[in-house]
């Protein structure tokens, strides 16, 4: 399946980011902790250039903690602060505020020397659709300021939001890129819901996800769907989907599998963390390209 999705408003977002960079001090880049490589727009580096940056792994509660720690070390080795956050319960958001001011220390001190005692940190949050930007903003502000939704593409315009007396934030819509050179990246985005389900064959996506999990998180997969690990060894994607469908009773007339229903169940349960805390990418897989 060839996955491509680049709505017109995303080209506008790219221009919006470039045009407003001069207004901000620190970039907050939100990534999905489950797919740190695939959820990173390769155009962001060229867009933000040398602006100070914080990387925030959102949805960290859904990701494999062991692998998340590996990513934190990987970013530290690149000289970039990486913080695990949860935009639903607020985990890590105070650390974001403190780190942003830390990155601005020299500018704040220069202004104080000139007699300007108060320097608010102006930040911009960037990230792909459905990475949780609106929920992040609402939580860090403390009230429902930004429009939120569980579908990609909800935020469409530019908004300045006052976080506190010490910080302001420029929100931008989520941005993907015109073409996925690596279809595995496109599939990872489909797994996590960054690409709208209604433009894809969800059956193919669910089969690919089950096959991937059977190789990397076999115990979690078998526990969730009450499978015997030995019984699914060597199964092809379609056979896996059918086996899981029978276990969940997704049967229609004449004993046939309801592929649409079981595909939706598989994707919903993965995205909701019900299968387990899963990370689909590790540092070193393809991470060397992330700072180019």
- Please indicate if the annotation marks 133 as binding a ligand: yes
- Please indicate if the annotation marks 58 as binding a ligand: yes
Q: In which element (H, E) is residue 84 found?
A: strand 81-84
**Under a CB-based contact definition with an 8 Å cutoff, are residues 177 and 43 in contact?**
yes
Q: Say how many residues make up the chain.
A: 292
Structure tokens at 251: 């049967």
pLDDT tens across 28-44, in order? 999 999 999 988 877 77
- pLDDT, residue 205, reads 96
- Please indicate if the annotation marks 231 as binding a ligand: no
Question: When comparing pLDDT for 23 and 216, which is higher?
Answer: 216
- Please indicate if the annotation marks 60 as binding a ligand: yes
Is pTM beyond 0.75? Reply is yes
- Please indicate if the annotation marks 87 as binding a ligand: yes
CATH 1.10.1580.10-classified regions of the chain: 201-271
Question: For all residues of the chain together, what is the average pLDDT?
Answer: 83
* Distance from C-alpha of 59 to C-alpha of 42, rounded to nearest angstrom: 20
Give the full edge-to-edge strand order of the sheet including 53-58. 81-84, 53-58, 26-32, 121-126, 167-171, 159-164
- pLDDT, residue 154, reads 43
Question: pLDDT-based confidence at 185, cuts 50/70/90?
Answer: confident
Task: Please give the distance of CA 25 from its chain centroid, rounded to a whole number.
Answer: 23
Task: Give the pairing type, strands 26-32 and 121-126.
Answer: parallel
Span 8-178: which CATH code?
3.40.50.300
Second CATH level (architecture) for the domain 201-271: Orthogonal Bundle (1.10)
Q: How many CA atoms lie within 13 A of 141 on its CB side?
A: 20
CATH 3.40.50.300-classified regions of the chain: 8-178
- Please indicate if the annotation marks 130 as binding a ligand: yes
- Please indicate if the annotation marks 86 as binding a ligand: yes
- Please indicate if the annotation marks 174 as binding a ligand: yes
């Amino acid at each position: 399946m060839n996955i491509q999705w680049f709505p017109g408003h995303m080209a506008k977002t790219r221009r919006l980011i470039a045009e407003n960079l001069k207004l901000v001090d620190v970039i907050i880049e939100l990534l999905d902790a489950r797919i740190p490589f695939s959820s990173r727009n390769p155009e962001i580096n060229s867009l933000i250039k040398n602006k100070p940056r914080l990387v925030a792994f959102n949805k960290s509660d859904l990701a494999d903690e062991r692998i998340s720690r590996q990513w934190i070390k990987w970013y530290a080795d690149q000289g970039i602060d990486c913080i695990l956050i949860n935009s639903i319960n607020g985990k890590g958001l105070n650390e974001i505020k403190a780190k942003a001011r830390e990155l601005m220390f020299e500018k704040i001190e220069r202004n104080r020397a000139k007699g300007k005692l108060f320097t608010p940190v102006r930040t911009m949050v960037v990230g792909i659709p459905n990475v949780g930007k609106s929920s992040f903003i609402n939580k860090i502000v403390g009230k429902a300021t930004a429009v939120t939704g569980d579908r990609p593409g909800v935020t469409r315009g530019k908004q300045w939001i006052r976080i506190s007396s010490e910080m302001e934030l420029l929100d931008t819509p989520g941005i993907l890129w015109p073409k996925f050179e690596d279809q595995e990246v496109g599939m990872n985005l489909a797994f996590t819901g960054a690409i709208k389900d209604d433009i894809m064959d969800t059956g193919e996506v669910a089969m690919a996800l089950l096959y991937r999990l059977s190789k990397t998180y076999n115990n979690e997969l078998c526990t969730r769907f009450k499978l015997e690990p030995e019984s699914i060894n060597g199964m092809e994607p379609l056979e896996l989907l059918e086996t899981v469908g029978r276990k969940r009773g997704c049967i229609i007339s004449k004993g046939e599998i309801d592929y649409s229903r079981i595909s939706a169940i598989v994707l919903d349960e993965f995205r909701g963390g019900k299968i387990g805390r899963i990370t689909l990418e590790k540092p070193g897989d393809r991470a060397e390209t992330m700072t180019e």
